[in-house]
Amino acid sequence: MINVSYAIILGVLLFAVGLYGALRSTNAVRILMCIEIMLNAVNVMFVAFARLVSVDSVGLAGAVHPVAVSGQIFAIFIMAVAAAEAAVGLAIILQIVRQRGVVHIDKINLLKG
């Protein structure tokens, strides 16, 4: 199949793209989306490294070993946390929009001295 390092490189590039988008945009919802992209990039790298671990520890492809899927389980936990983070973040943004009428983070500056 494919070389696993390709997937790792894809994860790095996707994380960098998401990081650029998150740093560049001023729309709070867009920043949340870019954070989701970054979490997805981390998931890709977890699954790729899980593939390496499974080959390393089992040797025989297809054999089932608890270690073999641990990277994928980490990806599942990241998905759960990402879903929770998106829900709470969107609720906070919704409330800010409702109270102040802005979604641009430059204009959310109540704590500015």
Partner 1 sequence: MSLLDAFVRFLPTLGFAMLAVVILVAGWMVGQVRRITHAAFFMVLAFTGVAGVFVMLGADFLAATQILIYVGAVAVMFLFAIMVSDLKELSDNPSGRDCPGGEYSAASGPAPKASTAGRPWTILAGLVAAAFAALVLAAIGRSALPGYVVAAATGAPTTAPIGRALFTTFLVPFEVASIVLLVALVGAIVIAGREGDRPDAAKAATDAGQDSGNRKGDAA
Our measurement of the distance from residue 7's CA atom to the centroid of its chain's CA atoms, rounded to an integer in Å, reads 15
Q: Cα–Cα distance between 50 and 112 in angstroms, integer?
A: 45
Extract the tokens encoding 105: 């983070």
Q: How far is the CB of 42 from partner 1 (least distance, A)?
A: 11
CB of 24 to partner 1, least distance (A): 4
CB of 108 to partner 1, least distance (A): 12
- Residue given tokens 């989701």 in the structure block: 36
Cα-based distances in Å from 6 to 2, 43, 63: 8, 14, 24
Nearer of residues 52 and 113 to partner 1, judged by Cβ: 52
